[in-house]
Each structure stands twice: as C-alpha cells, then as structure tokens.
Amino acid sequence: MKIKLNEEIKEYCKILKLKGINAHFECLMAESNDYEEYLHKLLTYEIEEKDKRAIECRIRNARLPYRKYIEDIEIDCLPVDMQKKLPELATLDFIEKGKNIIMTGNPGTGKTMVSVALALKACMNGYKVLFTTVPLLVTTLKESNSAKTLRYFENRFEKYDLVVADELGYTSFDHEGADLLFNNLSLRAARKSTIITSNLSFERWVEVFGDPTVTSAMVDRLTYKAILVDMEGDSYRLRETLRENGESINALKS
C-alpha cells in the first residue's frame, strides 16, 4: 500500500512539476515524525528547486554565448584598469544605479569575458539580462522596423535590467542602423544599465556611425555617469598561458 501511495505521490509531483518535493519526500519521511517540520522541509526544498529553475530560465533568456563565473577569472591577467575596477563591478551596484559600463581596448584583452561574467552573475541575482552583439542588435532593429514590430521590440528592450552590447566597432552602419541604435540605447540612458564593449577609442566611433553629430550624441548619452574601463593591454589568454608556465609577458617581448 505504501509503495503504491509513494508512486502516486511521484506521479502527482510530475504533473504539478514539484521537483523538489518529488526528490526529497521519501528520505524526509524517515527523518521526521513531526508533520509540520516535514511539510516545512518539503516546501523549503521546493522553493530552492523553483529558484534554481528561475535562474536557469533567466540565463537561457539572456542568450549568453557561454558561461564564465567571475570567481574563475584570473584577475591579474586582465588590463590594469579592469583589475582595479572589477571587484566593485562584481557587486552589481552599477545595475541598481542604472549606470553604464564602457570597455574600450584592443581585441583579446577580456572585454567579452568580463561582460559575460557580470551578466551571468546578474542572472543569478534575479536581474533580467540580454546579451547581444551590436551588429546583431542593429540587424534585429532594422528587421523589426521593416516588419512594423519595432515598438514591441523597444518595449521589451528598455525593460532589461542589463543589456550587454558586445563588439561595437567591428562593422559600420548605414544611417537607419545608426539612428535605431542611438534611439534604443537612449531609451535606457540613466535608467537601466548597458555594457558596451569596443575595440575602438571614442574618437574613432565616427568610423562606425558615419555621422559626427550622431556619434557625438551617442558618446555623450552613453558615457553620462558611466564607468569607463581602459582595456588596452596584452591578450588575456596569452597572459593566462604564460602564467601557468611560470613566464611573464615581458619575458616574451624581450
């Protein structure tokens, strides 16, 4: 009889999607004779399972290219400015204050990696996050504009707690693309956080946007009260490899 009841309980848990209770109700039965304590423990497991599912859902919806935890970053392999600022950035206080982060520097220095790590931590802390490349974002905006669904996309875009717009500078845009990007990033200004990574210094952003007026307005809007990080330096991967082999980047250059 007991075995049959347990099987029915498992079936009901599957139907109701109570994974925490399903995983623990049998073992807890042997540990507790107090019904209130038993129910409390079961519900605690279910809440923990629900939280795990919510985190996984946020991570999936964020569209991260991979997972990288801040704790796994070799901080001393990053450019000096990021070494100084990463501990503060890792508190995610910039999201609460609606501040942007702008990382500029040559390729390979860890801009995307740090952005992914911050985005992943934000997901785990309950924030709604989107990771995209700037070229993909512009393409999506133009397609939405053509399909007359731009307003729907904009409503969703401005509600993200954190947007990572990676790889500004790899491709240039036409006038429509530049205007759409400016307008949508402006919707978030001073309210929601955006991380921008670029291999170009600010004075070279005109190469991407074409129009000096749009470029000036974009820089002004994005950098207002933003955290600017100089990511000029040697390759993060190279530094990490050399460190594992007990060598330094200076020895390689000499």
Say which residues have a Cβ less than 8 Å from residue 175's Cβ, sequence separation at least 6: 210, 211
With contact defined as beta carbons under 8 Å apart, do 158 and 184 qualify?
Answer: yes
pTM confidence score: 0.84
Count of CB atoms within 10 A of residue 39's CB?
13
Give the torsion sign (CA, 119, 121, 124, 126).
negative
With contact defined as beta carbons under 8 Å apart, do 197 and 166 qualify?
Answer: yes
Q: Over its length of 254 residues, how does the chain's per-residue pLDDT go in tens digits? A: 556 667 766 776 687 677 877 777 777 776 767 666 767 777 777 888 889 999 999 999 999 999 999 999 999 999 999 999 999 999 999 999 999 999 999 999 999 999 999 999 999 999 999 999 999 999 999 999 999 999 999 999 999 999 999 999 888 889 899 999 999 998 898 889 999 999 999 999 998 888 899 899 989 999 998 999 999 988 887 777 767 776 655 554 54
With contact defined as beta carbons under 8 Å apart, do 231 and 104 qualify?
Answer: yes
CA 149 to chain centre: 25
CA atoms of 175 and 182, how far apart (whole Å): 11
3-state secondary structure of 164: strand
Sheet of 227-230, strand order: 129-133, 162-168, 193-198, 101-104, 227-230
In degrees to the nearest 10, what's the CA dihedral of 63, 116, 123, 181? -60
Take residue 134 and report the two structure tokens written for it. 């700037």
Half-sphere exposure of residue 224: CA atoms within 13 angstroms, side-chain side = 14
CA atoms of 141 and 2, how far apart (whole Å): 59
CA atoms of 163 and 115, how far apart (whole Å): 10
